[in-house]
Amino acid sequence: MLPHRMFFRPSRDIPNASYIEMVSILMAGKLPIVIVALTIIMLAGFSLSARLDWVIVGLTATILALLSMRFAMIGKFRREMSAGGLSIAPARTWERRYRAVVWPYAALLGLLNFRITTTGDLLAHMLVIAEIFGFCAGLVTRTSVRPKFCAGALMLAAIPTSAGFLTVAANAADGRSGFAYLAVASLIATYSVSSLESVSYLYRTILAQLTAKQQLAGLARLDPLTALPNRILMFEQLEALLHASKTSEELVALHLIDLDGFKGVNDRYGHPTGDAVLKLVGDRLGKILRAGDIAARLGGDEFAVIQVGLRSYREAEMLGHRIVRALGEAYPAQEHAIFIGASCGIALGPVDARTADLLVERADQALYAAKRAGRGKVHFWKSDIEPPAVAA
């Protein structure tokens, strides 16, 4: 990607997980806001100590109000993150809110610098120079994750400041002073534009790191053999579905599946053939499930299916029998027809349990009962007591 193109790249081109983390980076840190506020107060106070200027008073008051809004916004954002994380739509909303505060703040800061520069003395000019370089450096460091946002704020603050020093240069009493102010104006403009290269580099580096992090996180939650969710991801998905079921009239069924006779496949045909059979098991589970249902491999020859949107336990029973039948069909391997079976234990949430750990434990107990009853059985937890059907 060419550096300038990222300033026009839509955020929708960025992977959602990476974009959400970028917004979280953008919204991090209250201390810089406090430091900026104190700097503005010092700068304006010093200028006003020489003479009262109501334009400077108004600009300063407005900037401090925007900084207060930004401070409160970050606090609210952190509370929302702590309450339940952040999805893509709220993340876009938070970025728009942040931009709606910071861009006006940057523009007003540029106007404040212009006013102080064109009406102040040499000492005030020194403070303005220190403030604008500090502001731009902090802005690049903190907001490079959103290049367009960063570049806009940078230009809104730097251009009026540079214009202020150009105005002073044009009205300078002597050539030497005029040259000095012209040099300051040029340096502010040059460093502001050249810092976009740093923004580009930081953005590309952070995006690459976040993308790699998300890919690794995804791989850590997938079974490498079947590409199904592994135990970690299955638990996360089950916990989320059980949480959602608290406000729904629908059931969530957990099917734990153990392959009958699979050890003999490895012993007779070897582990490569056993791996091929496990892949076929994953494929078959995927083909018989409805949209929204989830298949997972928990390890070895143990699989799981999360069935959602149930109105009655009979729907879980029907799927359990379909699973057992599908996995009991022949598996072609090495010019042989390999036959194995499957046993299935089922527990229903929130009827049997309201947490993922307990639901897994009870489905495992049901699976143990199914295996004791013989191969190819489907068994519910507490199957002698029919779970209450949910009203249609």
Active-site annotation, residues: 301
Which positions ≥6 away from 78 have C-beta within 8 Å?
27
SS (H, E, C) 331-368: EEECCEEECCEEEEEEEEECCCCCCHHHHHHHHHHHHH
**Token duo for residue 25:** 């980076």
Quote helix, strand, coil % in the chain, to nearest 5. Answer: 70, 10, 20
**Pairing state between β 331-333 and 302-310:** unpaired
How many other C-beta atoms are found inside a 10 Å radius of the C-beta of residue 101?
Answer: 18
Residue type at position 126: M
d(Cα 15, Cα 290) in Å, to the nearest integer? Answer: 26
Coil, strand or helix at 86: coil
Beta carbons of 121 and 50 less than 8 angstroms apart: yes
Angle at 105 between CA 99 and CA 108, to 5 degrees: 140
Coil, strand or helix at 154: helix
d(Cα 123, Cα 117) in Å, to the nearest integer? Answer: 10
- Asked, as a colleague might, if the bond just before 350 is cis with ω within 30 of 0, I would say yes
Phi–psi pair at 347, nearest 5 degrees: -130, 145
Beta carbons of 239 and 84 less than 8 angstroms apart: no
d(Cα 34, Cα 67) in Å, to the nearest integer? Answer: 8
Among residues 299, 267, 269, 265, the alpha carbon closest in space to that of 282 is found at: 299
- DSSP code at position 229: B
b/e sequence 253-283, b meaning 16+ C-beta within 10 Å: bbbbbbbbebeebeeebeeebbebbbbbbbe
d(Cα 307, Cα 115) in Å, to the nearest integer? Answer: 66
d(Cα 221, Cα 27) in Å, to the nearest integer? Answer: 28
